[in-house]
């Protein structure tokens, strides 16, 4: 099978690493890829957000399967155009990806199917939103509608903070609309399921650390580390989330003529009343993907292919009992501004450490040295008998890397230990 993977983050390195091991693979390309992906795939550069370009690249290369890593190509209509051209695609349609791209849409789906989620109201005008906040009081959660790369959410402890957040959203570049929610309390878990639109196969649970600094402090990021399985997300909670949240939402999408196919990322709050939906993403999480795929013993490529071809009913997945933990190394200053093109040394030492895989995110190679080109740069991942051991091994490997301009949290996995 000739496979083209879109994306160039740590999630895509994990996907490429798993796909490259498959006996069913003829050749793997990745656009744009990164220095780590280049070791297992041929990296090519073209506009992955332009549907026509992606279609013609797939035709020229004789691609049998297109795998879409991030959400932006979904929103740009790439999956629809490629599917319409008769090429098999792993990734939902733009209409189904609205579960990620529009928070109001997801709330309406939850209302229609009864999936438990925070009580909410949506507003197109700042004054109406503010009146609602004054009526409800704090704590309260303010969200920009639409994609905001994790930066569009304010969990406001005080009313004034909530009112300011509304101003920021309406004055900001996205303009437009706001969703206001009741604040839920509990532990968060990320639950990943595979679906062809009908059959649902639970993949795994994970927990990530969204804040930049130790003790879950500092600004929100795309994720500074993750581990799987998540002890708080028990098999009972997984079964309950599947029945109460995942299946009703997928049935509602089917009923509306926009069935969802691909990986569904279900962000949950484990409240005292059971799991409630926080958000949905139309893709794998990053860095959750990096600590889930190493636990999968089944060959990933036929699984992606079956899903993209619309029938996963015959699949059975084999998971390792081991635990996996990923520590993200980011450029100092991330998620704000940071220096680029700094040199990373001794990656090979970390890569050779026991049970460790180093997934690259923002890296490239210049004159045979690896340089950092992005905010999140590496995901040091260890697979071991339990979370504690995985954490020790991952941090041991991280300490071998010489990169003065980088930093990482020292407490990934604290909730599980």
Contact positions vs ligand AMP (CB under 6 A): 118, 141, 143, 150, 153, 155, 181, 183-184, 188, 210, 267, 278-279
For the bound state, the minimum distance from the C-beta of residue 365 to ligand GLY, rounded and expressed in Å, comes to 26
Q: 208 or 252: whose CB is closer to ligand GLY?
A: 208
CB of 375 to ligand AMP, least distance (A): 18
Which of ligand AMP, ligand GLY, none interacts with 281 (beta carbon under 5 to 8 A by kind)? ligand GLY
The single residue among 80, 181, 208, 252 that binds ligand GLY, judged by CB under 6 A, is: 208
In the window 102-131, what residues touch ligand GLY (CB under 6 A)? none
Cβ 397 to ligand AMP shortest distance, Å:
28
Q: Which two tokens stand for residue 142?
A: 């303010």
Tell the smallest beta-carbon distance from residue 395 to ligand AMP (Å). Answer: 24
Give the residue among 231, 404, 215, 221 at the shortest CA–CA distance from 328: 221
CA 11 vs. chain centroid, Å, equals 7
Q: List the structure tokens of 309.
A: 């071809």
* Cα(334)–Cα(222) distance, integer angstroms: 10
Q: Check residue 288 for interaction with ligand GLY (CB under 6 A).
A: yes
Task: Confirm or reject binding of residue 223 to ligand GLY (CB under 6 A).
Answer: yes
What region does 349 belong to: left with phi over 0, alpha with psi -120 to 50, or beta? alpha
Task: Indicate whether 252 belongs to the interface with ligand GLY (CB under 6 A).
Answer: no
Residue 410 DSSP SS3? coil
From first CA to last CA, the distance across the chain in angstroms is 42
Among the listed ranges 194-202, 227-235, 282-290, 386-394, the one in contact with ligand GLY (CB under 6 A) is 282-290
- Quick one: which segment of 46-54, 281-289, 384-392, 398-406 binds ligand GLY (CB under 6 A)? 281-289
Q: Are 143 and 179 in contact (CB under 8 A)?
A: yes
Nearer to ligand AMP, 104 or 363 (CB): 104
Closest CB to ligand GLY among residues 195, 281: 281
Number of residues that bind ligand GLY (CB under 6 A): 7
The strands making up 2-7's β-sheet, listed across from edge to edge, are 42-43, 27-32, 2-7, 65-68, 88-90
Binding residue for ligand GLY (CB under 6 A) from 9, 197, 285, 335?
285
Residue 184 touches which of ligand AMP, ligand GLY, none (Cβ within 5-8 Å per kind): ligand AMP
Taking the C-alpha atoms of residue 12 and residue 29, their distance in angstroms, rounded to an integer, is 11
Quick one: what does residue 208 bind among ligand AMP, ligand GLY, none, with the CB cut-off 5 to 8 Å set by partner type? Answer: ligand GLY
The Cα-based distances of 249 to 115, 269, 335 in angstroms read 7, 17, 33
Residue 73 CA, chain-centre distance (Å), reads 14
Cβ at position 119, least distance to ligand AMP in Å = 9
Nearest to 345 by CA among 403, 292, 271, 294: 403
Pick what 223 binds: ligand GLY, ligand AMP, none; C-beta below 5 to 8 Å, kind-dependent: ligand GLY
Q: How many CA atoms lie within 13 A of 174 on its CB side?
A: 19
Which DSSP symbol is given to 184? P
Tokens at residue 158, please?
A: 């005080």
Quick one: what does residue 181 bind among ligand AMP, ligand GLY, none, with the CB cut-off 5 to 8 Å set by partner type? ligand AMP
Dist CA 44 CA 6 (whole Å): 10
Asked if 402 contacts 336 with a C-beta cutoff of 8 angstroms, the reply is no
118 binds, options ligand AMP, ligand GLY, none, Cβ within 5 to 8 A by partner type: ligand AMP
Nearer to ligand GLY, 268 or 347 (CB): 268
Residues near ligand GLY (CB under 6 A): 208, 222-223, 281, 285-286, 288
């Amino acid at each position: 099978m000739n496979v083209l993977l879109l994306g160039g983050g740590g999630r895509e390195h994990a996907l490429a690493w798993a796909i490259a091991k498959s006996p069913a693979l003829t050749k793997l390309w990745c656009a744009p890829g990164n220095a780590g992906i280049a070791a297992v795939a041929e990296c090519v550069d073209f506009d992955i957000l332009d549907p026509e370009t992606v279609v013609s690249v797939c035709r020229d290369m004789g691609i049998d399967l297109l795998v879409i890593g991030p959400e932006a190509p979904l929103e740009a209509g790439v999956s629809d155009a490629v599917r319409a051209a008769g090429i098999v695609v792993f990734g939902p349609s733009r209409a189904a990806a609205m579960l990620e791209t529009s928070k109001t849409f997801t709330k309406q789906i939850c209302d229609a199917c009864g999936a438990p989620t925070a009580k909410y109201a949506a507003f197109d005008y700042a004054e109406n939103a503010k009146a609602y906040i004054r009526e409800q009081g704090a704590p309260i959660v303010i969200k920009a509608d639409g994609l905001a790369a994790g930066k569009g959410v304010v969990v406001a402890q005080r009313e004034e903070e909530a009112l300011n957040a509304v101003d920021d959203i309406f004055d900001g570049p996205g303009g437009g609309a706001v969703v206001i929610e009741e604040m839920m309390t509990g532990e968060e878990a990320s639950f990943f399921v595979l679906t062809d639109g009908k059959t649902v196969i639970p993949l795994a649970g994970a927990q990530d650390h969204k804040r930049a600094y130790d003790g879950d402090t500092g600004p929100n990021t795309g994720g500074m580390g993750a581990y799987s399985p998540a002890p708080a997300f028990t098999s009972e909670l997984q079964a309950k989330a599947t029945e109460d949240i995942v299946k009703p939402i997928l049935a509602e999408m089917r009923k509306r003529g926009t069935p969802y196919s691909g990986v569904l990322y279900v962000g949950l709050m484990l409240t005292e009343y059971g799991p409630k939906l926080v958000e949905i993403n139309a893709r794998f999480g990053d860095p959750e993907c990096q600590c889930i795929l190493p636990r999968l013993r089944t060959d990933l490529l036929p699984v992606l292919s079956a899903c993209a071809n619309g029938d996963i009913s015959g699949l059975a997945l084999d998971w390792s009992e081991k635990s996996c933990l990923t520590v993200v190394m980011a450029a100092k200053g991330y998620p704000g501004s940071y220096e680029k093109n700094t040199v990373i040394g001794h990656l090979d030492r970390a890569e050779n450490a026991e049970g460790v895989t180093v997934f690259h995110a923002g890296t490239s190679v210049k004159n045979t040295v690896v340089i950092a080109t992005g905010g999140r740069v590496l995901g040091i991942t260890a697979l071991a008998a339990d979370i504690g051991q995985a954490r020790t091994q991952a941090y041991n490997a991280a300490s071998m890397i010489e990169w003065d301009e980088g930093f990482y949290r020292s407490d990934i996995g604290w909730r599980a230990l």
